[in-house]
């Protein structure tokens, strides 16, 4: 557990935050941001706080719950370490954006009073902690799997089916479960880990598109740099998780019923020298070329979607809400998110 580095997922010390604030001021913190830039950063701060909350729950169990850790390692032996690293990144994003806002005289985002949702009671979880998000009853959108392997683009009205049907399922154990090697009930924790693996990618592909949607809206070159640089790490996260999700194994319950399907597998060999792989197989992890900007232009390998309508703040809130991530939250929580999202989407570049 120590080798995996649980400490890397805790909040940054106050001294670090103070130094980052001083550094931001030294870099020109006296200048003011446009209202649009503030709106973009405030929504991103809220999004990163929410991401940090869900990733922290994953990390506690990935490092502290033997059954969940072993089930994640079926997808990849480095999964627990990668989960911890992703959590660390989200902590730095939320802290940096809020401190940057403060350095520019803008109001940071604080969602602490909405921390009301219960924690998992499984070993490894901080059982008494109150959460912003719930991972207990998710409907995971897995349409990204085919979207990134086909030529369509949601920005052109294209839609894609689910590669796996994951409705109203947990992505973390609510209580201790048998190890995945248990011959009777091991499928339960493995199904949860498979769900988590796809949810990791779902969250990060959404972040990849969200940040890209804001790039044409930022006025300050410094804000443009922030959106582009942090958005780049979201893309790195997504690329990692979509590769690992493809390793999720087919699962049968103790009655022989399939509870998780066999994903498309690449052929082992091509003796005739011709690539017979299915464009949808799990080895196709690079974004396939797709429609971009105009149907009159060649297909291009890009992040998609990136439009405000399909990838912006309000689209992100709608998708996360539909997934069940905020089940149990208050009307005030949803009202605040809606307000932050609307203001961010209305931002326009001031030249």
In whole angstroms, how far apart are CA 156 and each of 1, 235, 318?
Answer: 46, 21, 19
Do residues 187 and 251 touch, judged by C-beta distance below 8 A?
yes
Q: Which is nearest to 91 in space by CA: 18, 16, 9, 2?
A: 9
**CA separation for the pair 126, 119 (Å, rounded):** 7
Tell me how far the alpha carbon of residue 186 is from its chain's centroid. Answer: 27
HEC per residue, 16-84:
HHHHHHHHHHHCCCCCCCCHHHHHHHHHHHHHHHHHHHHHHHHHHHHHHCHHHHHHHHHHCCCHHHHHH
**What is the tens place of the pLDDT at every residue in 76-112?**
999 999 999 999 999 999 999 999 999 999 999 999 9
Checking phi first, is residue 168 left (phi over 0); if not, alpha (psi -120 to 50) or beta?
left
Residue 2: the pLDDT is 37
User: DSSP letters along 153-199, please?
Assistant: -GGGT-----SS-EEEE-SS-SS----TT-TTTHHHHHHHHHHHHHH
**What is the tens place of the pLDDT at every residue in 193-246?**
999 999 999 999 999 999 999 999 999 999 999 999 999 999 999 999 999 999
**CA separation for the pair 337, 331 (Å, rounded):** 10
Dihedral in degrees, nearest 10, Cα atoms 206, 211, 215, 221: -170
> Which helix or strand (DSSP H or E) is residue 280 part of?
none
Who contacts 1 (Cβ-Cβ below 8 Å, separation ≥6)? 63, 64
Do residues 185 and 177 touch, judged by C-beta distance below 8 A?
yes
State the residue for tokens 């947990």. Answer: 170
**Which is it for strands 166-169 and 138-140: parallel, antiparallel or unpaired?**
antiparallel
**What is the tens place of the pLDDT at every residue in 294-345?**
999 999 999 999 999 999 999 999 999 999 999 999 999 999 999 999 999 9
pLDDT, mean over the chain: 91
Average pLDDT over residues 35-45: 98
| Percent of the chain clearing pLDDT 70 (strictly above) | 88
Q: Which is nearest to 54 in space by CA: 249, 237, 181, 243?
A: 237
**CA separation for the pair 29, 180 (Å, rounded):** 52
What residue ranges do the domains of the chain occupy?
A: 16-261+279-345
Residue 268: the pLDDT is 63
Residue 32 has pLDDT above 80, yes or no: yes
């Amino acid at each position: 557990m120590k080798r995996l580095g649980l400490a890397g997922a805790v909040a940054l010390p106050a001294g670090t935050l103070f130094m980052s604030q001083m550094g931001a001021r030294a870099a020109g913190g006296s200048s003011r941001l446009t209202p649009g830039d503030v709106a973009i950063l405030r929504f991103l701060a809220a999004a990163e706080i929410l991401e940090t909350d869900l990733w922290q729950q994953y990390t506690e169990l990935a490092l502290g719950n033997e059954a969940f850790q072993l089930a994640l390692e079926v997808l990849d032996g480095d999964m627990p370490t990668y989960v911890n690293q992703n959590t660390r990144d989200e902590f730095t994003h939320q802290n940096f954006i809020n401190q940057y806002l403060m350095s520019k005289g803008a109001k940071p985002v604080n969602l602490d009073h909405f921390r009301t949702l219960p924690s998992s009671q499984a070993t490894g979880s901080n059982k008494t902690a109150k959460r912003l998000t719930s991972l207990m009853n998710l409907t995971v959108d897995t349409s990204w799997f085919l979207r990134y392997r086909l030529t369509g683009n949601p920005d052109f009205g294209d839609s894609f089916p689910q590669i796996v049907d994951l409705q109203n399922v947990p992505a973390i154990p609510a209580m201790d479960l048998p190890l995945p090697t248990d011959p009777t009930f091991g499928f339960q924790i493995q199904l949860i880990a498979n769900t988590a693996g796809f949810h990791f990618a779902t969250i990060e592909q959404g972040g990849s598109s969200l940040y890209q949607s804001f790039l044409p809206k930022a006025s300050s070159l410094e804000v443009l740099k922030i959106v582009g640089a942090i958005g780049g790490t979201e893309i790195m996260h997504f690329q990692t998780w979509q590769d690992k999700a493809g390793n999720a194994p087919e699962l049968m319950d103790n009655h022989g019923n399939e509870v998780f399907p066999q994903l498309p597998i690449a052929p082992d060999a091509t003796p005739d020298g011709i690539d017979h792989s299915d464009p949808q197989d799990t080895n196709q992890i690079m974004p396939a070329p797709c429609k971009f900007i105009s149907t009159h232009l060649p297909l291009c390998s890009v992040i998609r979607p990136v439009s405000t309508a399909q990838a912006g703040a309000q689209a992100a809130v709608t998708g996360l809400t539909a997934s069940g991530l905020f089940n149990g939250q208050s009307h005030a929580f949803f009202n605040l998110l809606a307000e932050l999202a609307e203001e961010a989407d209305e931002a326009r570049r001031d030249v």
